[in-house]
Amino acid sequence: MSLSKPVASIALLLLLPSLGVAQRVPDARLKPVPAAEWTDAHREALGARARGDDTLDVFQTCLRNVELCRNWMTFTNYILSDRSSITTRDRELLILRTGYLCRSDYEWAQHAALGLKIGLTSDELTRITRGPDAAGWSANDATLLRAADELHRDQHISDTTWQRLRQRFDERQMMDIIFTVGQYTIVSMYLNSAGVQLEKGQTGIPR
């Protein structure tokens, strides 16, 4: 998920013509809590992400369990901040690959837009859907994507991939890599199962 509710993403429609729009759950199973119904506890739980009616539905829906939401936001804010030890580009590669593997349309839509803002290209977004073996990746990018694949498939980074990552990342960064994939696996499970619907004007993962 990105940090603000985006304007309709026409650029993505042009850059990624194969994007799909049908979500796995066509209607929300858990509805967002409207801003008009928020209590002080709701606003406190969301903190800076509480933006009234412009608050992303991923956060407004989380308010159905305000105590869970308050604690989850601490983790979310860490992963998405510069307190994380990995670069923004590496983070977005991991998040997008995880969202794609989890078939999370909402996650993909939010982070595809964010990825373009931080410098990923439309070709790279397409290649993320093809995985670490797609032509055009650097060895470093391919290894990072392979780690996301292995964590998704096996809940384990293989010895070979671990050794390649350790040529570039220190112990703190290795932890952030693992927990970033874990965070967005949880988020994808939540979005897919609760049926959080795409924000207005957005489209989902390439089909």
pLDDT in tens, 20-33: 456 889 899 999 99
Cβ atoms of 113 and 2 within 8 Å: the answer is yes
User: What pLDDT band is residue 115 in, cutting at 50, 70 and 90?
Assistant: very high
When comparing pLDDT for 124 and 207, which is higher? 124
- Tally of structural domains, the chain: 1
Q: Which stretch of 18-22, 75-79, 189-193 has the lowest confidence by average pLDDT?
A: 18-22
- The whole-model pTM stands at 0.89
- pLDDT mean across residues, the chain: 91
Distance CA 66, CA 36 (A): 15
pLDDT at residue 38 in the model: 98
Q: Is 105 exposed, middle or buried (0-12, 13-18, 19+ CB in 10 A)?
A: buried
Average pLDDT over residues 165-169: 98
Distance CA 56, CA 191 (A): 12
pLDDT of 176 over the 60 cut: yes
Give the CATH number of the domain where residue 72 resides.
1.20.1290.10
pLDDT of 9 over the 50 cut: no
Structural domain of 203: 1-207
